[in-house]
Amino acid sequence: MVEEKRDNRKTETRESVQREKPWSPPKLLPVPDPQEGYVFRWVRSSIRGELDNKNVSQRFRSGWVACKTEDHPELMVMSDINSNFEGNIEVGGMLLCKRSREEALKEKSYIQSLNDAQMEGVDRNFLKEENEKMPLYSEKRTEVTFGGGRK
């Protein structure tokens, strides 16, 4: 019997087996590196060449702060020409903003409570039309029993 010479598995690496990744175009709006305690969002600053000060002001009042270019060198972007937000990151009428994760969670729970209240109202309105002879909604249940077959 001939003995095979085997290489030690520790010398094998996954890099040599990995396939080459295909090229893909860069994203229009780059994603900043995550920062502890913050969430990021692109806020519309202009639409069709017209400034959208109302939208930007509303976002600033709700706690969003425009990100500075020097704080995110990884993005490698050139801000829009004639931008009203000099020194900030603006791409295609979208302004990169950040705010604390706590504030974002507060907003999310507030919106969830509004959604829950709306759904409760819809359900209540729908079910008030229900008649016990013709129910609009009934819980469907099935039961499985064993034994009691033919004798």
pTM over 0.95: no
* pLDDT the model gives residue 108: 94
* pLDDT the model gives residue 124: 81
Helix, coil or strand: residue 107:
helix
* pLDDT the model gives residue 36: 94
Contacts for 67 with CB less than 8 Å, ≥ 6 apart? 32, 40, 88, 89, 96, 97, 98
Structure tokens at 25: 């175009």
* pLDDT the model gives residue 24: 83
Contact 110, 71 (CB under 8 A): no
Report the half-sphere exposure of 20 (CA within 13 A, side-chain side).
2
User: How many CB atoms are closer than 10 A to CB 84?
Assistant: 13
pLDDT profile of the chain (151 residues), mean per 10: 66 66 84 93 91 93 93 82 84 93 94 93 78 64 73 58
Report the half-sphere exposure of 36 (CA within 13 A, side-chain side).
0
Structure tokens at 127: 């079910």
